[in-house]
Amino acid sequence: MTAEHENKHKKPREPGTRALLDLFALGDPDEVLKLKDLLSGLGRRAFGMLLFIATLPAFIPIPIGGAISGPLVVLIGAQLLIGLRKPWLPAFIGNRGPHRHALVKFDKIISPSLRRLEHLIKPRMPGILDHRAATIFTGLLMLLLGLLLSLPIPFTNFLFGGLMLMFALALLERDGALMVVAWVAGAVAIGFFGILSGNLVAMATRWLDSLF
């Protein structure tokens, strides 16, 4: 089989994170971008986009940012934990979202970093993303990190926000290697700040009790 023949049958790469952000930037800056519309057509990558959007408030330099992002991250982690194929959002959340100008502003902040990382982040090791046990582990880490993000731990919003972006990019770009790095960084953060806060285990236990 010739290289030309292989190229014809090679599945085209899905638009990357920067391409999606550039697409969302087009239009009225005051328009509210509904979460359900942002996730439409992304398939399993929708978890990554939802996590990306949910992380935005964590970068607001006030404590309430984590209080907004944290529960959203917990919701996403719980859905991965129970094995949903695509995100479920209650109507009151799905019909809300960031204003376009807020997403554009965040895009300008993160784009330089994304541009430098583009040659490193790429689709690879799909088994890390699609295996059931790996998805459960990802969901568990995100749930615990979301709980930590919800707590008023000083000076940690940017740290946890950065970790969430790592998970989001791994899901969006279908990069299993990056997900492994996110696992390690997330586990270290959970171990350190979970012990430091003293509240993580109690919060997780109450949440699990409410499910069962």
Q: Looking up tokens 């376009």, which residue turns up?
A: 100
In a domain, 194, yes or no: yes
What b-and-e string marks burial along 173-210, b requiring 16 or more CB atoms within 10 Å of the CB?
A: bbbbebbeebbebbeebbeebbeebeebeebbeeeeee
In a domain, 115, yes or no: no
Helix (H, G, I), strand (E, B) or coil at 32: strand
In a domain, 113, yes or no: no
In a domain, 136, yes or no: yes
CB 96 within 8 A of CB 103: no
What pLDDT does residue 73 have? 92
What's the maximum distance between 2 C-alpha atoms anywhere in the chain? 60
Distance CA 45, CA 59 (A): 22
The HSE-up count of residue 27 (CA atoms within 13 Å, CB side) is: 13
pTM over the 0.85 mark: no
For residue 123, pLDDT beyond 90:
no
Helix (H, G, I), strand (E, B) or coil at 200: helix
What pLDDT does residue 117 have? 73
Structure tokens that stand for 49 in this block: 């986009």
In a domain, 118, yes or no: no
Among residues of the chain, what percentage have pLDDT more than 70?
Answer: 81
R_g (Cα) of the chain, nearest Å:
17
Q: For residue 30, what are the domain limits?
A: 14-106+124-211
Residues 81-96: pLDDT tens digits? 988 888 888 888 788 8
DSSP letter assigned to residue 40? T
Distance CA 162, CA 146 (A): 12
Distance CA 24, CA 45 (A): 16
Number of structural domains the chain divides into: 1
In a domain, 140, yes or no: yes
Residues 60-117: pLDDT tens digits? 766 677 778 888 899 999 999 988 888 888 888 788 878 888 877 777 777 777 777 7
Q: How confident is the model at residue 139 (pLDDT cuts 50, 70, 90)?
A: very high
In a domain, 1, yes or no: no
